[in-house]
Copies of this chain bind each other. A is one copy, B any other.
Amino acid sequence: MASPATTTANASYSTLCTKHNLALSTNHHFHNNTLRFPSQNPVQIRPLSLSSSPPAKLSVKVSAAVMETSKSSSSSVPTIVDVDLGDRSYPIYIGSGLLNQPDLLQRHIHGKRVLVVTNTTVAPLYLDKVVNALTVGNPNVTVENVILPDGEKYKDMDTLMKVFDKAIESRLDRRCTFVALGGGVIGDMCGYAAASFLRGVNFIQIPTTVMAQVDSSVGGKTGINHRLGKNLIGAFYQPQCVLIDTDTLNTLPDRELASGLAEVIKYGLIRDAPFFEWQEKNMQALMSRDPDAFAYAIKRSCENKAEVVSQDEKESGLRATLNLGHTFGHAIETSYGYGHWLHGEAVAAGTVMAVDMSYRLGWIDESIVERVHNILKQAKLPNTPPEMMTVDMFKSVMAVDKKVADGLLRLILLKGPLGSCVFTGDYDRKALDETLHAFCKS
């Protein structure tokens, strides 16, 4: 997994990142850097070390890597964030024009056969480009593709079977590689297909939405929905690499872009107060698609995700905190029907509800509630669930949430100063009821 040419240097995070709002210069500061998060760190949920210290005081192990990549006028040297999982470690490449750098992908293809899994929206935009990146100068590799219908409502077993059908009909073998080209739905389905095909083949994530780039493509959570709930069938299965070409965001609709920002905001709230403060100052730049602001937001999000996943791959505790707002959000998605609200929109409303409940429990100051409302407003995200949602709908779906243990629903709630949270089943049921009734008419 090492870069072909690597020089190593240790530096404290403070030498790279001395101000909260350093985003606009991040391309200069962070190119050529590999950030490694040791997996042996003790698991801490509250307070989280990263969130309770300003970045100027952080000391994160950093090594600099010089990548030998093919040159392209539109390409940059990628930033690399490593997900440290022992023999399942992998790099996240982040940068502009990375799909024009074939060796980034090709170094992770071990056999001769590749299956690109994508959808009807993304295929016309990027499929040819990805096939070219996989095959240019590499005549031994042949690429098949399967183009699925677009949308969360197709993240089901019937659609998954189309991937298996294509793989088997194409006579792919255990040395093949699946490539997920698309947003979170494609990444989750392709990853689960890769985990299950012939009991496991290699796969690569090429996320093309903010949601997938900052969250779902990293960390190995794969799966499909069941009619009774989201992501109930799946696997923990890590990719060989994640390649984030930030240029793919140029074709992303505004609403999809905003949806992904819900997950960016999440990292700030649960563990990275300086990142939240940076977002408060830079949300307008993000909404106007400032590339440097986006490069920083993606990198900082991936670092947060990588650090959490490295410490708790299978979600025995810490990792669950990444689901702030998701238990409420999944209930909205499942009850309202896929296709009406985007995932991040449901998560945004769910985050407001989790924050409301945290405040009712007396665990956070009113100022945090206000700041959450304000930042979601700036990102044009909902701050209340759809009107049709009832208390019973929430309770019914939340009862089958994966965070239920022996009948007890555990939730991610904010507690303490900005950037601190808990994952707990130890809360007053009255507060949950009050929150549900405050946000539902019946």
Contacts and interface: CB of A to CB of B under 8 A. Distances in A.
Given A157-B157, A405-B173, A198 B168 contact: no
A169 B406 contact: no
Contact of A171 (B226, B315, B399): B399
Interface in A175-218: 175, 192, 195-200
A404 interface: yes
Interface stretch (A7-15, A231-239, A355-363, A411-419): A231-239
Given A157-B157, A157-B161, A235-B235, A402 B168 contact: no
Given A164-B226, A199-B234, A406 B171 contact: no
Interface string A155-175: 001000100110011010111
Contacts of A314: 199-200
Contact of A173 (B169, B231, B234, B406): B406
Interface string A397-428: 00110101111000000000000000000000
Interface in A221-278: 221-223, 226, 228-229, 231-236
A168 B236 contact: no
A199 B168 contact: no
B221 A199 contact: yes
A236 B199 contact: yes
Contacts of A196: 192, 196, 223, 233-235
A400 B168 contact: yes
B399 A168 contact: no
Number of this chain's copies in the assembly equals 2
A108 interface: no
Interface string A120-157: 00000000000000000000000000000000000001
Interface string A371-402: 00000000000000000000000000001101
Contacts of A157: 157, 161
A158 to B, nearest CB: 9
A165 B227 CA distance: 9
A46 interface: no
Nearest to A112: B406
A232 B198 contact: yes
Nearest to A111: B406
A108 to B, nearest CB: 16
B233 A200 contact: no
Contacts of A161: 157
Nearest to A409: B173
A407 B235 contact: no
A169 B314 CA distance: 24
Top 8 nearest A-B pairs by Cβ distance? A173-B404, A198-B402, A199-B234, A168-B228, A196-B233, A112-B406, A175-B405, A199-B236
